[in-house]
């Protein structure tokens, strides 16, 4: 009895890792690439065992959120093919049966739903935390009630129209004013010579006393 149990334990211990290795393939899971140095530059953190544990925990969280409470745990996330690039492949096993995989589409939907949370956990973006095969959903374009260009257009046209109206009105007023003063001058005409024209001139204009400086100064 005891021998049977030992054999069975040895068999389990040897098989489980190989089973999990057999489960973890890129066809059944997803390849992840992290570009930490590109994203954070000098503040980049080192990728180590703890970070990998954190990643598994985040994925488990995403699966829990998507499935509505199913008890996904860190042990349900299997990781393999780790490289120095910081890329690896992961698959998700069902919490009820660790030798069965969650279908790819479900994993994809779960990640898409919590993508922003996953990104923020690692201080990365859609481009620097790359799930190969899962395209990020693009942000909705900003919708304006009034396009900003119409507002700018309205302001400029308003100023221009105000300017045109002001100038036309001032021309009209000037004309009225000059017409009125012309009527007044008509009354004040003596022998045909307007008083204003004589006022400025004292006597004959002597050409010989013209200013020497003929060149207009700048």
Partner 1 sequence: MGWSTKLKLPNPGLDERILSHAQLEKLEVEEAGERPKWDNKAQYMLTCVGFCVGLGNVWRFPYLCQSHGGGAFMIPFLILLVLEGIPLLHLEFAIGQRLRKGSMDVWRTINPYMMGVGLASMCVSLLVSLYYNTIIAWVLWYFFNSFQEPLPWSQCPVNANRSGFEQECERSSPVDYFWYRKTLNITTDIDQTGGLQWWMVLCLISAWAVLYVCCIRGIETTGKAVYVTSTLPYVVLTIFLIRGLTLKGSVSGLVFLFTPDLNELANPATWLDAGAQVFYSFSLAFGGLISFSSYNSIHNNCEQDAVIISIINAFTSVFAATVIYTIIGFRATQRFDDCLGGNILTLLNTFDLPEGNITESNYDLALESLNATNPDIVNRLNLQTCDLNTFLTEGVEGTGLAFIVFTEAITKMPLAPLWSVLFFVMLFCLGLSSMFGNIEGVLTPLQDLKIFPKSWTKEAISGVTCLLCCCIGLIFVQGSGNYWLALFDSFAGSIPLLITGFCEMVGVVYVYGMDRFNEDLVFMIGHKPNIFWQATWRVISPLIMLVIFLFYFVTTISKEFFYIAWDPESAKFPTLEQKPYPTWIYVIIFILAGIPSLAVPGAAIFRALWKRCCKI
Placement of tokens 């481009």 in the chain: 127
Residue 48, classed as helix, strand or coil, is: coil
Stretch that binds partner 1, among 14-22, 29-37, 92-100, 102-110 (CB under 8 A): 29-37
Given phi > 0 = left and psi -120 to 50 = alpha, else beta, which region is 32?
beta
The residue from 75, 171, 178, 181 that contacts partner 1 (CB under 8 A) is 171
How far from chain centre, in Å, is Cα 100?
Answer: 40
Q: Cβ closer to partner 1: 34 or 92? A: 34
Placement of tokens 């207009």 in the chain: 216
**What whole-number distance in Å separates Cα of residue 27 and Cα of residue 101?**
12
Give the CA radius of gyration of the chain. 44
* Max CA pair span of the chain: 148
The residue from 160, 173, 195, 198 that contacts partner 1 (CB under 8 A) is 160
Q: For residue 11, how many C-alpha atoms fall within 13 Å in the half-sphere facing its CB?
A: 6
140 binds partner 1 (CB under 8 A): yes
195 binds partner 1 (CB under 8 A): no
The residue from 84, 193, 204, 209 that contacts partner 1 (CB under 8 A) is 84
198 binds partner 1 (CB under 8 A): no
Taking a C-beta distance cutoff of 8 angstroms, is the pair 121, 54 a contact?
yes
The residue from 152, 194, 195, 198 that contacts partner 1 (CB under 8 A) is 152
193 binds partner 1 (CB under 8 A): no
177 binds partner 1 (CB under 8 A): no
Taking a C-beta distance cutoff of 8 angstroms, is the pair 103, 30 a contact?
no
Stretch that binds partner 1, among 11-19, 70-78, 140-148, 184-192 (CB under 8 A): 140-148
218 binds partner 1 (CB under 8 A): yes
Residue 192, classed as helix, strand or coil, is: coil
Taking a C-beta distance cutoff of 8 angstroms, is the pair 63, 76 a contact?
yes
48 binds partner 1 (CB under 8 A): no
Tell me the number of residues near partner 1 by CB under 8 A.
38
Stretch that binds partner 1, among 15-23, 99-107, 163-171, 187-195 (CB under 8 A): 163-171
**Residue numbers at the binding site for partner 1 (CB under 8 A):** 33, 35-38, 83-87, 135, 137-141, 148-153, 156-157, 160-161, 163-164, 167-168, 171, 205, 210, 214-218
């Amino acid at each position: 009895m005891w021998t049977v149990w030992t054999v069975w334990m040895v068999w389990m211990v040897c098989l489980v890792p190989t089973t999990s290795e057999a489960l973890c393939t890129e066809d059944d899971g997803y390849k992840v690439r992290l570009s930490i140095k590109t994203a954070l530059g000098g503040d980049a953190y080192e990728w180590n065992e703890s970070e990998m544990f954190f990643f598994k925990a985040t994925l488990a969280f995403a699966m829990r959120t998507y499935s509505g409470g199913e008890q996904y745990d860190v042990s349900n996330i299997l990781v393999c093919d780790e490289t120095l690039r910081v890329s690896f492949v992961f698959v998700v096993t069902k919490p009820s049966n660790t030798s069965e995989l969650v279908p790819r589409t479900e994993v994809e939907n779960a990640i898409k739903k919590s993508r922003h949370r996953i990104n923020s956990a690692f201080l990365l973006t859609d481009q620097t935390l790359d799930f190969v095969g899962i395209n990020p959903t693009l942000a909705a374009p900003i919708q304006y009630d009034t396009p900003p260009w119409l507002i700018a257009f309205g302001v400029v046209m308003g100023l221009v129209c105000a300017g045109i109206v002001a100038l036309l009105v001032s021309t009209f007023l000037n004309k009225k004013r000059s017409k009125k003063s012309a009527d007044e001058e008509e009354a004040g005409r003596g022998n045909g010579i307007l008083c204003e024209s004589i006022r400025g001139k004292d006597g004959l204009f002597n050409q010989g006393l013209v200013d020497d400086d003929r060149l207009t100064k700048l």
